[in-house]
Amino acid sequence: MNGPASRWRLLWLVLVLCIASCGDNSDETPTGGDLPDGDQEMENTTPSLAEKLGVTQYVGKIDPIVHLQNGQETTYRFDAAQGPICMRGAEYKVTVRDTGSQDLVVFLQGGGACWSTFCLAITAAPEGVPLVDLLNADMANNPVADWNVMYLPYCDGSFFVGEAQFDDDINGLGTRYHKGLANLTGALEVAKLRFPDPQRILLAGSSGGGYGLLLAGPLLRHYYPDVELIMMADSGIGLARDGEPEYLQTALDEFNVQRFFPDDCENCQDNGHITGLVAYFLDYDPDVRIGMYSSWYDSILAKVFLQIPGEQFAKGLQEQTDRIHTAFPDRFRRFITDGIQHTALLGTPNSIIGSDLTAIELPEGGLEDLMSGVKIEGMDATIVDGQSMTQWLTALIDNDTTQWKDLLEEKGPPPESE
């Protein structure tokens, strides 16, 4: 191999290898940067929990359209052909408030649910950010008053997770479009576009939005894998009829969300509840912390939504949340008041149902019967052991473990009305 011919053969071989490796590189890693090492490649190919659950089907496939700009607020709408749509076919819209903050609130509104044996739902998405307590920039001591806001109206009737179309003509209104997962994903596409690198995110949901957090948490983490994530479930954390799994199962089947439940989660559906998804997420993501609010006899959840005695609701609330808190005492804590209050982050009933009463489908009896006896207090007026929800939420956000405590007010007797 020392002669001229051998040297030429060696040069020819080097040239051929160079051409082969330096030809069309359109599918290769772009030049100009270092290739990732083996450990980085392994990290990049490890599926997120959202991918494991199968809730990423719309990621990167929805193009938000600027609809309306009003000062700090921008409302986006979506093309229904890409997925997002309200339950009766109205256009889905979301609104952001850009304050220039390094922190972000993602808020899932409430407003019932709809399946073949029960229907109470909002069916239109309003424009703008409503002045609920949590989103009120002028509210004294509000810990997120100056944060950026990503506001998600709730109009899919399926807890922001549905992926189905149902034609039972309930209420004589034809097809139900349960596209909550597409609506949620579209909103998170907007959030990532507008706020690509926040320092902290508070993901909060009230009532139906609180139920939506069960899968919204993993999906949001997929978009923001390294951001400090705090969650607040306000009157809704997967509770259903204690000992009656068939009740919620009807909704899960019609929304087509059963397929999102992980095979290795033995307690995700326990005694009729789906609160086990909360524990599963906490176990999977050691950096998230979750707070929750409820009253022992929540009149909307117990009386209207679940149609069970308050005492039965309180039993399920106690047992299910005890289990999560015992397993994760430092990252899951409760703020539970006595009585029948529904939600603590909103402030008024109008914060749930909105002002457009034509966009509400109601169970038999109508709105007056539904709202009779309902108690909704704001963040400052919701108090346990001298600590307000405003103070408790501030401690949760700041991870102040001396003030963010597990607070359970002593149960009084069940309300007489039941």
Q: Mind listing the pLDDT tens digit for each residue in 70-100?
A: 999 999 999 999 999 999 999 999 999 999 9
Residue 130 tokens read as 């409503």
> What's the whole-model pTM score?
0.87
Q: Which two tokens stand for residue 54?
A: 């199968």
Q: Is pLDDT above 50 for 418? A: no
Is the pLDDT assigned to residue 45 strictly greater than 60? yes
Mean pLDDT, range 215-235, rounded to an integer: 98
Per-residue pLDDT at 354? 57
Mean pLDDT score, 259-277:
92
Spatial contact of 295 and 338, defined as CB atoms under 8 Å apart? yes
The predicted pLDDT at position 30 comes to 30
pLDDT above 60: residue 258: yes
pLDDT at residue 373, rounded to an integer: 61
Selection from 211, 226, 214 nearest residue 113 by Cα:
211
The pLDDT score that the predictor gives to residue 352 is: 58
For residues 305-333, average pLDDT: 96
Alpha carbons 182 and 185: distance in angstroms, whole number: 5
pLDDT tens column, 333-379: 999 999 999 999 998 766 555 556 567 887 765 555 555 666 778 99
The pLDDT, as a whole number, for residue 178 is: 97
Q: Which range (10-19, 166-175, 277-286, 337-346) has the least confidence?
A: 10-19
Range with lowest mean pLDDT among 39-48, 101-110, 129-138: 39-48
Which whole-number Å values give the CA distances from 195 to 64, 96, 102, 104, 201, in the listed order?
Answer: 14, 10, 9, 8, 10
pLDDT at 372: 60
| Amino acid letter for position 247 | Y
Q: Are strands 103-108 and 148-152 parallel, antiparallel or unpaired?
A: parallel
Report, as an integer, the average pLDDT of 127-140. Answer: 94
Scored b (16 or more CB within 10 A) or e, 106-116 reads bbbbbbbbbbe
Indicate whether 1 pLDDT > 70: no
What was the pLDDT predicted at 14? 29
CA distances (Å), 157 to each of 116, 269, 324, in order?
A: 12, 21, 27
Give CA–CA dist 82/80, Å, rounded.
5
> For residues 236 and 29, which has the higher predicted lDDT (pLDDT)?
236
* Higher per-residue confidence, 274 vs 22: 274
Q: Which residues contact 223 (CB under 8 A, 6 or more apart)?
A: 59, 188, 191, 192
pLDDT for 283 = 96
Query: How far is residue 214's CA from residue 275's CA, in Å, rounded to a whole number?
Result: 8
CA–CA separation, 241 and 227 (whole Å): 35
Contact assessment for residue 145 and residue 138, using Cβ atoms and an 8 Å cutoff: yes
Give the pLDDT of residue 359. Answer: 78
User: Each residue of 149-207: pLDDT tens digit?
Assistant: 999 999 999 999 999 998 887 778 889 999 999 999 999 999 999 999 999 999 999 99
**3-class DSSP string for 133-171:** HHHCCCCCCCCCCCCEEEEECCCCCCCCCCCEEECCCHH
